[in-house]
Amino acid sequence: MAYQLQKSKIGEVIFRQKLVNQHLGQRIYFKGEPDQKQIIKILKQRVASSQNIFKNLNSQNISLSPFLEIGAEKCQRAALLTSKFNAQGFALDISFESLKSAPNFAKKLNLKKLPILICADAENLPFADNSIPFVFAFETIHHFPKPHRVLAEMKRVSQKTIYFSEEPVKQFFNLGLWKRDYNLTLAEKILKKIYLLPFISRLGGSESSHNVTENEFSIGEWQDALRGYKNLQISLEPVFWGPNAQFDAKDNNWPINLLTKILIAIEGGGITVLAQIKKETRAIQKNNLLDLLICLVCKKSSLEKNSKRMHCLSCQSSYPIYNKVIIMLPPKLKGKLYPNF
């Protein structure tokens, strides 16, 4: 199973630190990335679309609490769940700086309650097996070399439902001459006008300058990563134009219509997956949400919290808390990503 390289994890931390400071209006690091005004607009749109998604899941009797969001960044979706859906749960990201900014952005988005903030690695989740009913991610899994490892971790900790959305599906019809940013240059704007841009350049300019992995997986790779799931609802959609493919899938039988398949190969696409899993083992029922966390060294749920850290009573490992963010990283990785903590 392909793991994310350590240099990519370090890249994520440094890139997100700069990006969030730009989004907070402190300094422009990346001209191609949104500034403070643009990001607030984008976050408002994300909140609105997530609200529809959560309402829809609710109407299918899917329990949204407790939840775990992987790659939560500024936590607007997790804060939407805690503030407007009466849910409780965790927002997890590898970027401490992004999580630290959550109260600031929640205020701007008028979201009053925040989830528990966990700085951790999606490939090594600090949660007990089978412990969280609703595990979800948006725009996150494509930052890894393959979807398998993160999905395996999401499946391990999930008790009932896994949901992910807004992940790219590979566009084969692209020369990939360079990587473009959110804000286009003049030349790129002209190329966009004549419909050439999306076929000669790919997204993720600023990200790749910091070793952040920016991937697209083919339908086959998604299928492979989701092998063995018994109950999947899948939606595949071409990026610009064309019909969606929506279907229920069992095992590896994905009935995708040919037109959608061809259009995705040409334009690129997006994938949304709702996986309902039936766990054989009994679910853990805990009253205190923090009891769902496990020590990353001894893997036991023997953590005790004080105002400064989570402390493992079993192996004496310690996980510091800064700005209400619990840093749940294994000691070696923490030393590489956050040497000052």
What is the nearest approach in angstroms of Zn ion to the Cβ of residue 320?
A: 15
Instruction: Kindly indicate which of the ranges 33-41, 130-138, 161-169, 315-323 contains the residues binding Zn ion, using the contact rule CB under 5 A.
Output: 315-323
131 is an interface residue for Zn ion by CB under 5 A: no
Instruction: Kindly indicate which of the ranges 74-82, 109-117, 280-288, 305-313 contains the residues binding Zn ion, using the contact rule CB under 5 A.
Output: 305-313
What is the nearest approach in angstroms of Zn ion to the Cβ of residue 316?
A: 7
What is the nearest approach in angstroms of Zn ion to the Cβ of residue 296?
A: 8
317 is an interface residue for Zn ion by CB under 5 A: yes
Sites for Zn ion among residues 186-225 (CB under 5 A): none
CB atoms under 10 Å from CB of 153, counted, come to 18
What is the nearest approach in angstroms of Zn ion to the Cβ of residue 297?
A: 5
Which position among 312, 325, 329, 337 is part of the footprint of Zn ion (CB under 5 A)?
312
- 140 vs 317 by CB, closer to Zn ion: 317
What is the nearest approach in angstroms of Zn ion to the Cβ of residue 326?
A: 14
- 94 vs 312 by CB, closer to Zn ion: 312
Sites for Zn ion among residues 265-304 (CB under 5 A): 295, 297-298
Number of residues that bind Zn ion (CB under 5 A): 7
40 is an interface residue for Zn ion by CB under 5 A: no
Which position among 58, 86, 314, 323 is part of the footprint of Zn ion (CB under 5 A)?
314
Sites for Zn ion among residues 111-130 (CB under 5 A): none
- 37 vs 299 by CB, closer to Zn ion: 299
Q: Which residues bind Zn ion (CB under 5 A)?
A: 295, 297-298, 312, 314-315, 317
